[in-house]
């Protein structure tokens, strides 16, 4: 029998999430490489779909230097978003249902048609119907929020919840918009959309390419999170979180106390 049990690993990660209990990192121990880790992610998300959740899009991770430095992993990764993770703008989450939640400011795209792998950036405006400021709530299922590249991929790139602010038509430039993350009205992180691969449009290109390698095609109507522009900040009970993206507006999230 091979040492690798993708379904068993997916079950452990799923249980860690549903019981808000951290588990030790496992990739090194069981010999999980990047490809096998995406297989675990597929099985992990399938468990959610089997419970009645629906896929609503994709998210990119570690598309900025700030994020790579924060978690010590320097490869762009992607994960899946389901409807159960989508918190309405201005809505609230219960911090006790997570292990060690963090929030980060993002840019979201609403996809209009299916971009093909390798499609040039110029095609972006056809592929994207609208853009919005967003907040991602990440919650690594690993103890101390510490993981290797295959660990975080298997864990669906720490995806836990997200908020999308109002959609706008794609503005002329997306490559140097100011980004703020505010907690209780105070600025916690400052950045620019330039931090996201130089231009968040590139994140879509990467997403199409990297997910395509695993047979995943983006779909019309899906949401796409381009990755955080700044490091993530711990979410404390009672906090009011606001992500502000220049030209796009704000997304807000409350943490129930």
Residue 212 Cβ vs ligand OOG, minimum distance, rounded to whole Å: 20
For ligand OOG, the binding residues in 1-30 under the rule CB under 6 A are none
**Which residue, 16 or 62, has its beta carbon nearer to Mg ion?**
62
Contact between 255 and 137 (Cβ < 8 Å): no
Exactly one of 158, 189, 193, 250 binds ligand OOG (CB under 6 A); that residue is 158
* Closer residue to Mg ion, CB minimum distance, 48 or 67: 67
Give the one residue of 25, 140, 156, 189 binding ligand OOG; rule: CB under 6 A. 140
Angstrom distance (rounded) from CA 108 to CA 105: 10
Residue number closest to Mg ion, CB atom? 136
Q: What is the DSSP string of 76-143?
A: -EEEEEEGGGEEPTT-EEEGGGSSS-EEEEEEEEEE-S-PPTT--GGGHHHHEEEEEEEEEEE--SBG
Nearer of residues 10 and 228 to ligand OOG, judged by Cβ:
228
Secondary element (H or E) of residue 184: none
Residue 80 lies near ligand OOG (rule: CB under 6 A): no
x/- string (CB under 6 A) for ligand OOG, residues 206-235?
A: ---------------------xx-------
The owner of tokens 């660990």 is: 151
Told to check if 181 binds Mg ion by CB under 5 A, we report no
The entry of ligand OOG, Mg ion, none that residue 223 binds, CB within 5 to 8 Å by partner kind:
none
Q: How far apart are the first and last CA of the chain?
A: 48
Looking at beta carbons only, is 71 or 108 nearer to ligand OOG?
Answer: 71
List % helix, strand, coil for the chain (3-state, nearest 5): 30, 30, 35
Binding Mg ion (rule: CB under 5 A), the pick from 14, 136, 139, 182 is 136
In angstroms, the CA 134 to CA 22 distance is 26
> Given its phi and psi angles, is residue 62 left (phi above 0), alpha (psi -120 to 50 degrees) or beta?
left
In the three-class reduction of DSSP (H, G, I as helix; E, B as strand; rest coil), residue 233 is classed as: strand
92-121: contacts with ligand OOG (CB under 6 A): 104
Residue 157 binds which entry of Mg ion, ligand OOG, none, with Cβ cut-offs from 5 to 8 Å by kind?
ligand OOG
Judged by CB under 6 A, the residue of 89, 136, 199, 205 near ligand OOG is 136
Chain residues binding ligand OOG by CB under 6 A are: 61-62, 67, 71, 104, 136, 138, 140, 152, 157-158, 227-228
């Amino acid at each position: 029998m091979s040492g690798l049990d993708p379904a068993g690993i997916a079950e452990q990660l799923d249980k860690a999430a549903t019981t808000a209990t951290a588990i030790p990192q496992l990739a090194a121990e069981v010999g999980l490489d990047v490809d096998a880790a995406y297989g675990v992610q597929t099985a992990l998300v399938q468990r959610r779909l089997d419970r009645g959740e629906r896929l609503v899009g994709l998210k990119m991770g570690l598309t900025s230097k700030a994020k790579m430095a924060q978690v010590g992993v320097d490869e762009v990764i992607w994960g899946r978003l389901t409807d159960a993770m989508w918190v309405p703008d201005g809505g609230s989450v219960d911090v006790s249902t997570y292990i060690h939640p963090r929030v980060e400011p993002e840019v979201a795209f609403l996809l209009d048609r299916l971009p093909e792998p390798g499609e040039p950036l110029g095609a972006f405006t056809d592929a994207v119907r609208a853009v919005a400021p967003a907040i991602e709530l990440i919650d690594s299922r690993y103890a101390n929020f510490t993981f290797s590249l295959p660990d975080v991929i298997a864990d669906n790139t720490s995806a836990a919840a997200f908020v999308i602010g109002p959609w706008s038509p794609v503005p002329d430039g997306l490559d140097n918009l100011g980004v703020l993350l505010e907690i209780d009205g105070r600025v916690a992180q400052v950045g620019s959309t330039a931090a996201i691969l130089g231009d968040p449009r590139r994140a879509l290109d990467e997403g199409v390419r990297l997910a395509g390698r695993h047979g995943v095609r983006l779909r019309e109507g899906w949401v796409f999170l381009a990755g955080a522009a700044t490091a993530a900040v711990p979410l404390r009970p009672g906090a009011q979180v606001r992500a502000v993206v220049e030209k796009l507006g704000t997304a807000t999230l409350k943490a129930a106390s």
